[in-house]
A and B are shown apart, each in its own frame.
Chain A
Amino acid sequence: MFMLPELIIVLTAFVVLLLDLFFAEEQKKILPVLALIGVLIAMGNVIFWMPEQGVVFGGRFVFDSLGAWFKLIFLAASGATILLSWDRLVGKVSDAGSRLEHPGEFYSILLFTLSGMMFLISARDLVTLYVSLELATIPLFVLVAWKRENAFSGEAGLKYVILGILSSAVLIYGLGILYALGGSMVLEEIGKNLSPSPAFWLATALIVAGIGFKLALVPFHMWAADVYQGAPTPITAHLSVASKSAGLALMFLLFFRVLGPAVSEWNGFLAILATITMTLGNGVAIVQQNIKRFMAFSSISQAGYLIMGFIGPFPEGMPAMIFYLLAYLFTNLLVFAVIVFYANETGAEAISDYRGLSRTNPLMALAMMIGLFSLAGIPPLSGFVGKFFLFSVASKAGLHWLVAVAAVNSTVSLYYYLRIVRQMYIEPAEENAVRLPVSPVLASTVGLTLLGTVLVGILPGFYENIAQSVAAAEWWSIGR
């Protein structure tokens, strides 16, 4: 039964939703525990099935080792989001503005979007693909607007809905043309029937625009900053990691399984997209004052690095991309864990508010510094190793200028990541600054993600394991 992980997640979501109905306020504190247990069981299940391949519903749903890696990333990111939002939902925060209400609904919606992402990577036909994509995105609109009494959150929710629907419309237009051209719903069949023609290029352009919105690639990134700033901070973390991974999964399915055989040469186009995305993301991040907007632009530039994995002789870039995704998952969540901790206690979101954090909470400041260094790509942290593999993909494809641009961008990014480190370590703390209490849940989240950030870079097994999974996965579009 290869659909068991998804079923466990959906079942957990229903259990959490129903128990919320019967629980008193005090008892609702165990809802996050239940949600987390569901995610952990599903993770164990995915790891258990990983070496195998399976087909459910006559090929509509396929489980393979490559999809299993994506599923693990979705599960880990959602598990971390549950941990990050824990204190806010049970009311253990000093800053009243950070509180979130309705824990039962919050966790069930979070788990539903997770199940959509997991169905997405296993989908093998257009209908399942599109429906699971919507199941992954529509719950996010609700989560972004969760603090509706906050003007920023409401505005972010509205912007996200309108632009999300627009991008879905653009995407489904492209998929519709693909169906008309390919004459089938099954991705494999469409891929075989396609040949380059004006209609095909129109479909490709629409699909790239749709995916670009989901992934916040420049020039489709306009929504990112406002949505990231307005959303509750744990959801911002979820958007920047889980939602981005789902966008990559979608891009991966459509590019390699459908468009791949027909497009002989897209390296140049992807290289340009990656270049403008990372350069603009970096350039705008430098001047940001709000830490969430800052992380929005940082994640845009990270998406620029990530799509470098699609470059080069297929499927050599894939292991590098998934590895970087894994490193980015831990690293970005580590930084967000500290941001959530600081916002929970003080409600502060400006970068200048972080001054003197190393005096009051030295361990948290250290964790944040390690996370930022890993995002910038300082050895031996996982961010460096991931970038190394991604850059070597571009180098193998002969795009040396792209490697140079990416390296320059990494250096520029170090400058703005160091801005926060400077606030924490060099600027003096305020006179009456006291040590902020760290809740056990957030402390363990920081510990776990820190462990991941360091270990993924040092332990050699990860990359080889991912590369084996990619090699073992079944490929229809080998002819590329």
Chain B
Amino acid sequence: MTTVEMLIQTIINGILLGGIYACFGIGLSLLWGVMRVGNFAHGAIAFIGTYLFYGLLTSFGIDPILSMLLPIPLFLVIGVILYRLILNPVYIRVRPEDFEMSAMLSTFGLALAIESILSLKWGTDILTIPSSSLKYLRGTSITFGPIFITSQGLLSLSLAVSSMVLLHLFLTKTYLGLAIRAVSQNREMARALGANIQNIWLLATGIACILASMAGIAMSLTYAFYPQGYIIWNIKAFIVVTLGGLGSMVGMFLGGLILGISENLAMTLLPSFFSSFFPHINVLPLGFRDVTALLIFLIILLIRPQGLLGRGS
């Protein structure tokens, strides 16, 4: 494999990873936009999706597409629980200026609870989706000479892209979607025009949970997972949303791609860079992936605090 081929391969892997990041980001950005909730449980809810998908495939041997779609109603219910049991009570009880912080901390508590429940059922081992259980979706990799794209990678990217497209269509083509956007731009006026804010919030929470489950499934198709693993995905989702600029779906996808590609490039290029200074280092610790992500985040925030395609404050 030549250097150029290696670079292309790295970028392709980066794009696939970026799609997953963006997929985690959309639900998060929806809930933030509509309700100003920085949902720390988003990754954990996504992992419920991951483990249910895993369970349906391995314990019951259910068709993979069905395993993706069957839990969707359950995630609507999880959304209702999240809203009725946590977000709405917090909204009613705290002063408006404290809501963002209180809601964020409550969702953090929920994340810990979900993590514990997942560990109880599935243990804390690192798991992967056995490719045999994916049946007809398994397929072979697409290869161009030495460069290859795994079919599972493509599947997760298409899951991410179709989630985004469907959400976009819902937000722009339906009256409820219109109301969701209106509430996120001017809550008081949307209510004066007849939108029931509580119902819109409930709906948005439900949709955000479904999007989370899709992200969890997309992630599990290419990556290994364990109950605590959601934390880093959640942080990456926050980064992607902030990078892209709040309220911009295209910006967020771009943010995901930038993050995914640069992480992968760093992991490929940095070892040889380091070893030219420190000959005894020839492998980078895996944690460097996240260090790179956070550094890029920091740099972009310094240059463009409103995000790449953000709307200002």
Query: Do A and B originate from a single complex?
Result: no
Interface residues of A (CB under 8 A from B): none
